[in-house]
Amino acid sequence: VFNLLTRSGRIGHAELAVRDPVFTDRVDGLLGGRQVAPPPAFAPCRLGELVLTNRIARTGPANGAGLVYSEFVAVRADGRVSPDTPVLDGDRDGWAARVASAHAEGAKFALCLGHAGARGSSRPTVDGIDLPLPDGWPVLAASAVRYGPGQAVPRPMNGVDLAEVLAAFTSGAELAADAGVDLLELDLAHGYLLAGFLSPLTNRRTDEYGGDPVARLRYPLAVVDAIRSVWRRPLSVCLTVDDWHRKGLGLDDGVRIAGCLAEHGVGLIRVSAGQTVAECQPEYRRRFLTGAADRVRSETGVPTVVGGYLTTVDEANTIIGAGRADVCLLVAP
C-alpha cells in the first residue's frame, strides 16, 4: 500500500507521516522489526553476514551513512580510467586504514573494483569527460570498438589477456579480503571492460565470449566465479541494466543478467544505466534509476542499491519503505 501511495513521487514518507502517522508508523515497524522503529532509511539492513546499521550509502566521508563506497579502483595499471585512478596494488596497510576509518564512523566499507577497458587512458575529469591522453597507454576491450570520438581503438582481448585480467581480479579480491574490506563490488557498468562483454554494442566477438546473450555473459561470470573462489564475504555488482540505446540492452535484458549473477553468488546489485557507448541517449532526472532497481529487486529477489541524484533522507525513506530498493546512495545536494 505504501508503494502505491508514493509511486507517483508526489507524496513521500515525510508528507504521508503528516497525513497518516499511524500508517507510516506501521510501515516503519515492518522494516525495523519492532512496533516503535526509526524511519526506513535508518532501519538495519542484513546482506548475508554483513549488517549495515542503516540503509544510507555514500561515497567519500561517511557522514552517518551505514555503507561507504570507495572510488573506482583498477585491478592493474592498464585498467585505469586516467592517471589519477587508484590501482589495487600491494598496499594492504593503506586499504586497511581506510576500512578502519569507515568502521570508526560506524560504517561498513565497500571497495569498487574494475578495469576501465575502452574508457581507459583518458585525461583526468577536471579537464573534461572522456578526453584521450596525448600519450596514453594501450587499452583492452572485448572488441575493437572505441568508446567515443577521438579515443583510442582498443585491442580485442586474446586468450592470454582474458587469463591475465581474470587473475588480476582474483588477486585484487584476495588483497581486499586481507585488508578487511566488508563488501567487494565488481564493476559491470559505465562502459568499462566487463560491461563491454555484455552489450551487443561493444561485443562483436566470434569466439565463445561473443554472439548470443549467454555467450556475452560467459567471461563476466567467469570473473565472478574466480572472485567467489577466494572471497567469502558479500559480493556486489554495479550493473548496467539498460544501455539506453535502441540497439543495446534493455531493462528486460538487465533483469535477466542480474538473475544470472545471483545464481553465481552475487548478493547485491547496484543498478546503473547508459554510458555503454558515448552515443547512448541518457534519461537523467531525479530518481531515474528507482524503477530499474525496483524491477531487479522484485523479479530476481536480489537486494538492490539505488542512486540517481538522490539527495534527501525523505527520498530514501520513501524508496526503501515502498520496497523499491534496499539501500539508497545519497549525493550532496
The pLDDT of residue 61: 86
Residue 320, C-beta contacts closer than 8 angstroms, at least 6 positions apart: 31, 40, 41, 43, 55, 326, 327, 328
Reported in sequence order, the residue ranges of the chain that DSSP labels E, i.e. its strands, are 45-47, 50-52, 56-59, 67-74, 108-114, 140-141, 155-156, 183-188, 235-240, 268-272, 304-310, 327-330
C-alpha distance across the termini of the chain, in Å: 29
pLDDT tens for each residue of 68-110: 999 999 999 999 999 999 999 878 899 999 999 999 999 999 9
Q: Which helix (H) or strand (E) holds 192?
A: none
The pLDDT of residue 244: 92
The DSSP call for residue 229 is T
The DSSP call for residue 330 is E
User: What is the residue-averaged pLDDT of the chain?
Assistant: 94
The type of residue at 165 is V
Cβ neighbour number for residue 321 with a 10 Å cutoff: 24
Q: pLDDT at residue 333 above 80?
A: no
Do residues 255 and 274 touch, judged by C-beta distance below 8 A? no
Q: Tell me the pTM.
A: 0.94
Q: pLDDT at residue 221 above 90?
A: yes
Position of cell 541524484?
309
Average pLDDT for 205-227: 97
Q: pLDDT at residue 199 above 90?
A: yes
